[in-house]
Structure 1
Amino acid sequence: MSSAGEDLTRSETLVDRALADFTTAGDRWGIAAAQSTRATQALLRGDLAALRRSAEDGHALFTELGDRWGQLQTTCPLAALAAITGDYTRAAQPHQDGLHLAEELGFWPDAADRLSGLSRVALLTGGFPRATEPHRRAMALAAEHGYAAGEIHAEIGLALTARREGDFDRAERHLHRTLAWHREVGFGPGPALLLAGQRGDAAAHCPCTTRASPSPVTAAAPRPGNPPAPRSRRPSVARSNAHGQGPRGAGHRDVRG
């Protein structure tokens, strides 16, 4: 199944078809996975009503099934919804829950995303010192596990924090590196997202909107009892820069652990 960020309309059609099949079959896990994907699609569309409905339904089903992987997938859209609507206190909790789940499951790229999410919430509420250290932890964790997009997402946060603190030289250095990476991997929306972040748009502060989210409704998704598929290794931004090669790495990653 195509990822939501690559061909949103086709992804929506496929997920709608999958949801109908899962509903007919009474497959509750499949329904939850489809709703989780629908939540990300709704976020990309800016449909907050659909986002709330799908994220809450998917999260509730995964919780009933005791599927921690599934619960992890729904924390990001739930946090994004809260941030977009200005409920920053509520936005922090899904990221914190997601961080705990990711650490328990050993899904370190997801943990890096949740650290960045927590840092963005701190940034939005004016807690600039509280935003810096988790972003640095997220960047280091992403680099350690070859998750280049996670490094960039964290570095964008460091740039935003530096700008809010008035350290424009440091902000510029971070932004130059992130812009170069987006151009190298050919991720067109990257510069626009950076500008939105500079403007203070809440949606630009969520990991869900800074990378495409492949659908969890795939044959290889870790259904209960099955181990997650192995994550491919990608060259990290830090390692590439250290060798004078410039930023490299895939622009998107698999949401499976």
Structure 2
Amino acid sequence: MSDKPVPARPTVDLKSFTPARVALGRSGASLPTKPLLDFTLAHARARDAVHAVFDAPHLAAGVRALGLAVAEVRSRVADRADYLRRPDLGRQLDAASAAALADGITAPCQLAIVIGDGLSAAAIHAHAVALLQSLLPLLGAGEAVAIDHVVVASGARVALGDEIGAIIGARMVLMLIGERPGLSAPDSLGAYLTFAPRPGLTDAGRNCVSNIHKAGLSHDEAAHKIAWLVREGLAREVTGVALKDESADRAPRRIGTALPE
């Protein structure tokens, strides 16, 4: 072992490896003015993202421009304040939406996509359509995955996709939803995949691709992971803790093929 001393590196070097707030300096016992103002701005952006108005019709129009049919639904929350106070209501469709969705179903489908505002409508407005643009060619290549339904849901929590998927009769649901804003990412998008969706499932039955935003996972990277999980989940007929993301290591099996003995 070498006795040569390891050169000291200043703490400020950490800034080149992370967007986290490190090596901010100090002014007496407090933060310098600029880091304090930056923190205040980031906090304000996070709060704005949580309370931003969800423009469901505009989003639906953007999805239709990709050649997909879209239905619009609502959860049982009355307004944004209700959404934040009552997470349970965001996991249930209102009666009118459930009835309209059921009336429009003619046959079970392979994959349904649900796009919900979640805790950051800003994330959905910024990334949902662009992510679908990257994802659709991957799902359509080779053995195509049929996308029979796209649903735009207002006042949505992740589990709302379970009820929607059950009504539609989807083998799998892909839920795109705005994630809880952080102080460095107020517009982060999450993608949740659930096989055989039905009310009452827990997050143990889902796979999640998260941190999709301009400083995180790119649309193309996220689309690659999602497409792999969709195909592999349909092939294995499972999602969640039983399905590990190995999208970087190998291609998925053909849909419907059995696992090796």
TM-score of the pair, normalised by structure 1? 0.28
Which of these two proteins has the greater Rg computed from alpha carbons? 2
TM-score of the pair, normalised by structure 2? 0.28
Query: Higher strand fraction: Structure 1 or Structure 2?
Result: 2
